Each structure stands twice: as C-alpha cells, then as structure tokens.
C-alpha cells in the first residue's frame, strides 16, 4: 500500500524539497509513498485569487479565510475521507512519536499549511481537522512543519527502512531518550568507547544501554522522565 501525502499550501514548490533526497527520496521513487500538492489559491473565487484578510478585532498581519480554505479542505476530504487531515499550527496538540507511528501505519496524511497570522478558527469547528504543533516555537509557515511531520512518518512506512531496522529502539519509542551511540576509532582525542560496548557481552550491553537511557532522560528531559513513571533500572514502572 502506498502512503498518500496530500499537502494544501500556498507554496507547492516547497515539496518534496528535502524529502526528494536520501531515504524518503528513494522511497518516493519506489512508490512507497506518493505526494500530491494542492495550491490553496486555486480555491479562491475573486480575480486577485485572495486567500487572506485582516484580523477581526484588529492587529497586525493577515488571517487565512475559512471560506477559501474550506473549499480546499472539502476537496481533499471528499476524495480521501480515509486519510486523516491535520492542520499545522503552534496552537495544536504537540506531535509525538506514538502519533507519528499511528499515522505511518495508516493510508496517509493530508496536511493544511498555515501562513500569515494563522487560520480563521471557524474552519476547525465543523470539520474533522486535527490541529498539530511540532514544538513550542513559531515558524513563518506550515510548510516546514509539514515536511518535518512527513519525514517522521515516511521513515516508518513499511518497507522504507528495510527489515533490519524498524525504528522501535529509538528515542521516544519506549518513552525514553535513546542511549548514546559510538563508533570507531576506539580512541579519539584520548576518549575511548565505553569498555562494555566492546565486551561482546550482550546482556551487559543491554543493561548499560537501558541505564544510560534512563539517566539521560532523567537529566535532560525531566518532563519525559516524569511521564515514563520515573522508574530506576530494575524497579517496576512508577516506583521511586
Ligand atoms: N499567529 C500564530 C500564533 O501565534 O500562534 C503563528 C502563525 S505562524 C507565523 C504561520 C503558520 O506557520 C501557522 O499558521 C502554522 O501553519 C505554521 N507554524 C508556525 N509555527 C508552527 C509550529 N510550532 N507547529 C506547527 N505549525 C507551525
């Protein structure tokens, strides 16, 4: 099954962009995922093809119009009702690895990219649109956020990474950051790879990796650690 990526944007030329290269680029060429872009301006009805207007209540910038966007959104929802529709916005629910994994296992994703000051809120009131944020910072447009979301999904689409790597051991998959990685040379600037990783003892290696994943998560991401339950190695989840 091909994973369908459908992007509604004022800048279709930004796609596939970086997703035309490396892993995602090869997968696109092999037909493991497909890309369709819709120019939002094509759904405008006036001769200037306007998609935005001044904010109600005053203030800086422009707001994307619900009447124009709804026509674009309805076109996608009618043709692909099976594909979840996401709108990129800093006001959305933060994107997580479990959500990415669920999307990657499905038929695809449609993504509405905002610009200017954002999107008329009424668009979200009567349609199944999931508002998603990629982090607590503000981008100038939803296209980079859409590329980020797509990259995260595509690498998990069956067949893209190959059988050897399912991505299940990576950061966030178990609720923790991944353990640190090392490779040759063994001695670099006087720093050596931890002895345990060169021991060949897979039980010790596994225990060391689990311990480092827990320690690094606790120190670097107390929010994740708290959600994980804060269990130490060998303790049941939730124990203190
Ligand atoms: N005025 C908006 C606010 O303060 O919430 C920010 C609008 S931003 C300049 C323009 C567009 O960029 C948004 O509509 C959204 O599509 C996209 N965007 C910006 N930051 C984002 C983020 N953290 N996650 C997802 N999309 C984002």
Q: In the structure, what pLDDT confidence band is assigned to residue 168 with cuts at 50, 70 and 90?
A: confident
- Give the pLDDT confidence score for residue 28 in this predicted structure: 98
Query: 83 CA to middle of ligand 1, Å?
Result: 22
Q: Look over the chain and give the mean of its residue pLDDT values, rounded to a whole number.
A: 95
Has residue 97 got a pLDDT over 70?
yes
- Residue in this structure with the two tokens 């998990």, named with its chain if needed: 156
Return the residue whose CA atom lies nearest to atom 21 of ligand 1.
90
Question: Where do the domains of the chain lie?
Answer: 3-154, 169-240
How far is it, in rounded angstroms, from Cα 87 to Cα 64? 12
CA distances from 131 to 114, 128, 142, 237 (A): 11, 10, 11, 31
107-138 pLDDT, tens digit per residue, is: 999 999 999 999 999 999 999 999 999 999 99
CATH fold of the domain at 3-154: Alpha/beta knot (3.40.1280)
Quick one: fold of 169-240? 1.10.1270
**Cβ neighbours of residue 80 closer than 8 Å, sequence gap 6 or more:** 4, 6, 107, 108, 110
Ligand 1 center from residue 138 Cα (angstroms): 5
């Amino acid at each position: 099954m091909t994973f369908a990526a459908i992007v509604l944007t004022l800048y279709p030329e930004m796609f596939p962009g970086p997703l035309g290269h490396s892993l995602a680029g090869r997968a696109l060429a092999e037909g493991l995922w497909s890309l369709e872009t819709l120019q939002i301006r094509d759904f405008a009805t006036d001769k200037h093809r306007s998609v935005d207007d001044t904010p109600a209540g005053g203030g800086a910038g422009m707001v994307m119009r619900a009447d124009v966007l709804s026509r674009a959104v309805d076109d996608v929802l009618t043709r692909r009702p099976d594909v979840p529709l996401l709108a990129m916005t800093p006001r959305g629910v933060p994107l997580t690895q479990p959500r990415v994994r669920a999307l990657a296992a499905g038929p695809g994703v449609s993504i509405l990219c905002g610009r200017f000051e954002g999107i008329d809120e009424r668009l979200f009131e009567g349609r199944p649109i999931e508002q998603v944020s990629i982090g607590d910072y503000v981008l100038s447009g939803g296209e980079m956020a859409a590329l980020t979301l797509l990259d995260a999904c595509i690498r998990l689409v069956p067949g893209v990474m190959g059988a050897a790597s399912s991505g299940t051991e990576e950061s966030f998959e178990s609720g923790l950051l991944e353990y640190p990685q090392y490779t040759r040379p063994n001695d670099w600037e006087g720093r050596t790879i931890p002895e345990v990783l060169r021991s060949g003892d897979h039980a010790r290696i596994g225990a060391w990796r689990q311990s480092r994943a827990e320690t690094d998560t606790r120190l670097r991401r107390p929010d994740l650690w708290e959600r994980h339950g804060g269990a130490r190695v060998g303790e049941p989840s939730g124990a203190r």
